[in-house]
Amino acid sequence: MLPGTVLFGLATGAATVSAGLSQAVAFVMPAGFYAGVAQLSYVQLAATAAPFASILLTVAATQLRYLIYAGIASTWPRPEGLFFRLVPAYFITETSFALSLAERPESRLRFIIGAGAPLWVVWSAACIIGALLAGQLPPVKHAHAVPAIVLAPILARQLQGRARLLAGLAAVALGLALVSLPLRLGPLLAALLAVASVLTAMRFRRAGR
């Protein structure tokens, strides 16, 4: 997970300074946000002098998925003490949460701390380095694809079995073919078509037996 985190952190730190925010702000933001999408949303709106209320609502909207994670985590056994109620919640990311699901329920919150802490250190360091090197790093032409790079190792572990592997390959092929669609609808449409095509092929295969 760490290489993707480094890439995302460098891009986020550089974007923060390039948008006009000071390096001091860029150094502090990773600890306060620990969410690249939220930080980039804040930076883009702050650079246009958007009202604070709209910035706050936008940042909150980008993080609504964490309510789903919280609902799931609330069903896990929790050790006693305030520490294990607050710290794992801060360290939850898509990657640490997804990997924790493979652990025993009673170990998941401890696992999230163990996985989330090094990710947070690497994320913060990468954001700071990106802020220091802003203007010297090559531009990220497809910044919206960086989160997918971060999640790629997690997704790759899910490609077990012929159907999932075929769906993954079909999604990649269709994604490349549909990349020029407006409003960045290509990845979404590619995923839907890939799953639909594999399910249809499996149905025909079962019917032919």
pLDDT at 95: 80
Give the pLDDT confidence score for residue 13 in this predicted structure: 86
The reported pLDDT for the residue numbered 15 is 84
Nearest to 188 by CA among 148, 160, 158: 148
pLDDT number for residue 3? 79
pLDDT at residue 125 in the model: 93
Report pLDDT for 89.
Answer: 86
Task: Encode the chain in three state secondary structure.
Answer: CHHHHHHHHHHHHHHHHHCCCCHHHHHHHHHHHCCHHHHHHHHHHHHCCCCHHHHHHHHHHHCCHHHHHHHHHCCCCCCCCCHHHHHHHHHCCHHHHHHHCCCCHHHHHHHHHHHHHHHHHHHHHHHHHHHHCCCCCCCCCCHHHHHHHHHHHHHHHCCCCHHHHHHHHHHHHHHHHCCCCHHHCHHHHHHHHHHHHHHHHHHHHHHHC
The per-residue pLDDT for 94 is: 81
Give pairs for 115-119: CB < 8 Å, separation 24+.
115/1, 115/91, 116/88, 116/90, 116/91, 116/92, 117/91, 118/2, 119/1, 119/2, 119/5, 119/91, 119/93, 119/95
Give me the tens of pLDDT residue by residue for the chain, a chain 209 residues long.
787 788 888 888 888 888 888 878 888 888 777 888 888 888 888 888 889 899 889 888 888 888 888 888 888 887 777 887 788 888 888 888 888 888 899 889 889 999 889 989 999 999 899 888 887 766 655 555 555 655 666 666 666 677 777 877 888 888 888 888 887 788 778 878 887 887 787 787 777 66
**Per-residue pLDDT, 153:** 60
